[in-house]
C-alpha cells in the first residue's frame, strides 16, 4: 500500500518558454540552410533533446524522481548522457559554422575546457554529488545545488564533444574514439559503484541518504519518502541505481557512435523521408 503525501507537483513555465524559444530560433535558422529541412533527422534529434530536457528538469517528474535512488539516477543519466549528444547531433555543420563566427561564440570558446579535462572534472564532480556529506550541504544551500547541476550539464557537452561534434573535423578517429570511450567508462565507474557498494554495506536501506535525497527537491513537512513500493529505497533500489547509470551510459555511447560520431552531416541526412 502506498503512503499518502502532499506535495505541489508543478511545471516550470519559465523553462518551458526558454525551450520553446530555442526551438523557434532553431527552426528559423534552418530556413536559411538550403540542404536541411525541419522534417529531416537532425531537427528531430534536436527537438527530441529539448523535449527530454523539459521533461527531465521542468516537469513534475523532477520531484517524483527524488523519491527513489533508481529514479533519481535515471533522471541524472538522461540529463547528462542522452540529452547533450542528441542536441549536438541535431546541430548541422552549416549552422554550427555560422554560430562559430559570432562574437558571443568566440568569447565562450575561450572558456571551454578540453574534452579530457572536462571528462575528468565531470567524473569527479558527479561522484562527489552523491556523497552524503556533499548532499547534506546541498540541502542547506539550494542555490549551490542548482549551480552544481548546471555546471555538470555544461561539462557534459564538452565531454561528448569529441564523439559527436557538429564539426566533423573535431571528431575523434576510430582508434582515438575507442580510447576515449573506454576512459569515459572507467572514470564514471566509481559513481555507479557507489550505490552498489552502499547497498551491500548498509543492509536493507540507507535512511540518511534516502532522507537527504528526498529533501533536495521536496519540503520535509509535505512528503513521505515511503510512497513507492517495497523495492524502492531499499538495497535493491540502490544497487539498481548504479546498474541503471552504467547501462544508460553504455547504450548512449553506442547509439551516439552510430548516429553521428563517424558520419558527416550529409550521411546523417541520407534516408530522410
User: pLDDT (tens digit, 9 = 90+) per residue, 167-203?
Assistant: 888 888 777 888 888 888 888 888 878 777 776 766 4
Cell 564533444, residue located: 161
Q: With respect to residue 4, please indicate whether it lies within any of the assigned structural domains.
A: no
Terminal Cα distance for the chain, rounded: 48
Q: What is the model's pLDDT at position 221? A: 41
Q: What is the model's pLDDT at position 222? A: 42
Query: In 10 A of CB 152, how many CB atoms?
Result: 18
Q: What is the model's pLDDT at position 156? A: 93
Q: 129 is written with which cell numbers? A: 554529488
Q: With respect to residue 239, please indicate whether it lies within any of the assigned structural domains.
A: yes
Position 146 pLDDT exceeds 80: yes
Of residues 224 and 191, more confidence is placed in 191
Q: With respect to residue 52, please indicate whether it lies within any of the assigned structural domains.
A: yes
Q: With respect to residue 144, please indicate whether it lies within any of the assigned structural domains.
A: yes
Q: What is the model's pLDDT at position 129? A: 85
Q: For the chain, give the mean pLDDT.
A: 76
- Count of domains forming the chain: 1
Position 51 pLDDT exceeds 90: yes
Q: 116 is written with which cell numbers? A: 579530457
Q: With respect to residue 8, please indicate whether it lies within any of the assigned structural domains.
A: no
For the ranges 34-48, 220-234, 255-269, the maximum mean pLDDT occurs at 34-48
**Nearest-angstrom CA–CA distance, 49 and 47:** 5
Q: With respect to residue 192, please indicate whether it lies within any of the assigned structural domains.
A: yes
> Which residues span the domain enclosing 240?
13-269
Q: With respect to residue 1, please indicate whether it lies within any of the assigned structural domains.
A: no
The average pLDDT across 154-164 equals 90
Position 4 pLDDT exceeds 60: no
Of residues 235 and 121, more confidence is placed in 121
The share of the chain scoring above pLDDT 70, in percent, equals 73
CB 89 within 8 A of CB 264: no
Q: What is the model's pLDDT at position 199? A: 67
Q: With respect to residue 2, please indicate whether it lies within any of the assigned structural domains.
A: no
Amino acid at each position: 500500500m502506498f503512503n499518502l503525501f502532499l506535495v505541489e507537483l508543478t511545471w516550470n513555465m519559465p523553462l518551458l518558454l526558454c525551450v520553446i524559444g530555442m526551438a523557434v530560433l532553431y527552426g528559423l535558422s534552418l530556413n536559411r540552410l538550403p540542404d536541411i529541412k525541419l522534417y529531416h533527422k537532425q531537427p528531430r534529434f534536436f527537438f527530441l533533446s529539448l523535449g527530454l530536457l523539459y521533461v527531465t528538469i521542468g516537469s513534475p517528474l523532477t520531484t517524483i524522481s527524488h523519491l527513489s535512488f533508481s529514479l533519481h539516477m535515471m533522471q541524472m543519466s538522461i540529463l547528462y548522457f542522452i540529452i547533450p549528444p542528441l542536441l549536438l547531433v541535431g546541430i548541422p555543420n552549416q549552422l554550427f559554422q555560422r554560430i562559430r563566427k559570432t562574437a558571443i561564440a568566440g568569447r565562450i570558446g575561450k572558456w571551454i575546457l578540453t574534452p579530457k579535462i572536462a571528462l575528468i572534472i565531470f567524473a569527479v564532480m558527479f561522484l562527489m554529488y552523491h556523497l552524503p556529506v556533499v548532499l547534506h550541504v546541498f540541502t542547506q544551500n539550494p542555490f549551490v545545488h542548482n549551480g552544481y547541476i548546471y555546471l555538470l550539464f555544461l561539462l557534459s557537452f564538452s565531454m561528448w564533444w569529441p564523439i559527436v561534434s557538429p564539426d566533423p573535423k573535431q571528431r575523434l578517429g576510430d582508434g582515438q574514439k575507442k580510447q576515449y570511450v573506454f576512459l569515459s567508462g572507467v572514470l564514471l565507474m566509481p559513481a555507479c559503484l557507489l550505490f552498489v557498494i552502499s547497498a551491500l554495506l548498509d543492509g536493507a536501506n540507507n535512511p540518511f541518504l534516502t532522507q537527504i535525497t528526498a529533501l533536495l527537491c521536496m519540503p520535509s513537512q509535505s512528503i513521505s519518502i515511503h510512497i513507492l513500493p517495497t523495492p524502492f529505497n531499499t538495497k535493491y533500489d540502490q544497487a539498481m541505481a548504479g546498474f541503471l547509470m552504467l547501462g544508460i551510459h553504455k547504450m548512449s555511447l553506442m547509439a551516439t557512435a552510430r548516429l553521428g560520431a563517424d558520419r558527416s552531416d550529409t550521411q546523417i541526412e541520407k534516408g530522410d523521408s
